Amino acid sequence: MSSNYQPVSGITPGARSEFRGSAGRSARPRDAATLIIIRELKGKPFILMGKRSPNHKFMPNKYVFPGGRVDPCDSRLSLPTDLRAPVRRRLAKHVDKRTTEARLRATALAAIRETFEETGLVVGAPTKTPLSSANADWQNYFAHGVRPPLEALDFIARAITPPQRVRRFDTRFFMISDQYLASDPEDMSRASGELTGLHWISPAEAHDLDLPLITKQVLKIVETRLTIDPAKRHAKPATFVRFRHNKSVISDL
């Protein structure tokens, strides 16, 4: 645990994992990303969540934020803007030396693309210069006349699935304001169907849903983040949750 660790309310270092798996060599985690959209309604924050299908082998029937795996196409985009410097620095901590900036940027782009695919919502900023991609999902996104608003993304948490799981992910959690929604926040008619019951819910009410352990933890991080001046959030540390000897180790990034 890092020497500058500051406890996050509700997250207990050393807590035993809720996951159990067979003995043997651990699978290598795959990069994934999640996006938490903060929507202001009558002065109160709401977040978008949906329920994973019972047919999913990873976290079936659980309520989660939209997101998914990083694809090679996410590293190939050429964009006019970039993540803020503090966000880039946090993303670059505790990664393999071979990990490029493009790969780290791809985690943020994957969060936007997966949200578009799973919910139909367009998280983007208007652009006068049309963008294009050989990837069909990104091309459909660009057809809305937008670009990924990388400069507006806040990187708030990272979590690696415990060892001994058949499916493991190294997930980065990003947060963004609904002012970057370029589509009707209530229109999710183009959602892929991977998440059901998509709806906006207050953070307090979200605690009553059937959530994975890590989602509960990130939800508390979101609530803490919302108490900080929006202009200063990007500079605040992100929480890193990983496991050693079947116990969680929590530090700051």
CB proximity list for 10: less than 8 A, separation 6 or greater: 216, 217, 220
In the prediction, which pLDDT does 58 show? 58
What are the extents of the domains in the chain? 30-252
Asked whether the beta carbons of 232 and 83 are under 8 A apart, the reply is no
Entry pTM: 0.86
In the prediction, which pLDDT does 103 show? 93
For residues 166 and 34, give the distance between their C-alpha atoms in angstroms, rounded to a whole number.
20
Strand locations in the chain (E)? 30-41, 44-52, 63-64, 67-69, 125-126, 146-147, 154-160, 169-177, 195-201, 239-244, 247-252
CB proximity list for 84: less than 8 A, separation 6 or greater: 151, 234
Q: Please state the length of the chain.
A: 253
State how far the alpha carbon of 136 is from the alpha carbons of 101, 105, 139, 187, in Å: 24, 20, 5, 21
- In the numeric block, the tokens 């890590």 are attached to 214
Asked whether the beta carbons of 138 and 78 are under 8 A apart, the reply is no
For residues 112 and 43, give the distance between their C-alpha atoms in angstroms, rounded to a whole number.
25
For residues 211 and 59, give the distance between their C-alpha atoms in angstroms, rounded to a whole number.
9
What is the identity of the amino acid at 239? T
Asked whether the beta carbons of 154 and 174 are under 8 A apart, the reply is yes
In the prediction, which pLDDT does 6 show? 35
How many other β-carbons are positioned within 10 Å of the β-carbon of residue 63? 21
For residues 155 and 183, give the distance between their C-alpha atoms in angstroms, rounded to a whole number.
23
In the prediction, which pLDDT does 233 show? 92
In the prediction, which pLDDT does 118 show? 94
Mean pLDDT by 10 residues, the chain (253 residues): 33 38 64 96 94 65 91 93 95 89 95 96 94 94 96 96 79 96 94 89 94 92 95 93 81 87
Long-range contacts of 140-143 (CB under 8 A, 24+ apart): 140/116, 141/112, 141/113, 141/116
Measure the CA angle with vertex 188, ends 182 and 190; round to 5°: 95
The tokens describing 182, both together, are: 């370029």
30-252 classified as CATH 3.90.79.10: yes
Classify residue 107 by its DSSP letter.
H
CB proximity list for 164: less than 8 A, separation 6 or greater: 19, 20, 21, 22, 23, 24, 26
